[in-house]
A = this chain, B = another copy of it.
Amino acid sequence: MSQRVGVIGGGQLARMMIPAATNLGLEFFVLAESPDSSARLAATTVGDYTDANTVLAFARECDVITFDHEHVPAHVLAALGDAGVSIHPAPHALHFAQDKLAMRERLTELGIPQPDWARASSAADCDAFIASHGGSAVAKTPRGGYDGKGVRFISSSDEVADWLETGADILLEEAVSFRRELAQLIARRPSGESALWPVVETVQANGVCSEVIAPAPGGEGPIEEMAADIARRVANGLDVTGVLAVELFETTDERILVNELAMRPHNSGHWTIEGAVTSQFEQHLRAVLDLPLGSTALRGESIVMVNILGGPATGALADRLPQALERHPEAKVHLYGKSPRPGRKVGHVTVLADILEDAVAQARGAAGFFQD
Contact = CB atoms under 8 A, between A and B. Distances in A.
Interface of A: 1-3, 15-16, 18-19, 21-25, 28, 41-43, 273-274, 277-278, 286, 291-295, 297, 299-300, 316-318, 321-322, 325-326, 329-330, 332-337, 347, 352
A322 B2 contact: no
A297 B41 contact: no
Contacts of A334: 23-25
Contact of A25 (B291, B294, B299, B317): B317
A328 B72 CA distance: 35
A18 B2 contact: no
A334 B25 CA distance: 7
Given A292-B322, A318-B1, A322-B291, A330 B297 contact: yes
How many copies the complex holds: the figure is 2
Contacts of A22: 15-16, 18-19, 41
Contact of A41 (B3, B28, B316, B347): B28
Contacts of A16: 22
B291 A325 contact: yes
A347 B332 CA distance: 25
A270 B161 CA distance: 59
A329 B295 contact: yes
Nearest to A334: B23
Query: Which of A3, A28, A292, A335 is the most central at the interface, judged by chain B CB atoms within 10 Å of its CB?
Result: A292
A298 to B, nearest CB: 11
Given A41-B43, A274-B299, A291-B325, 20 more contacts: A18-B18, A19-B22, A22-B41, A23-B273, A23-B332, A23-B334, A24-B321, A24-B334, A25-B317, A25-B318, A25-B321, A25-B347, A41-B41, A277-B329, A286-B325, A291-B322, A292-B322, A292-B329, A294-B330, A299-B352
A15 B294 CA distance: 22
A109 to B, nearest CB: 33
Contacts of A42: 41
A19 B326 CA distance: 21
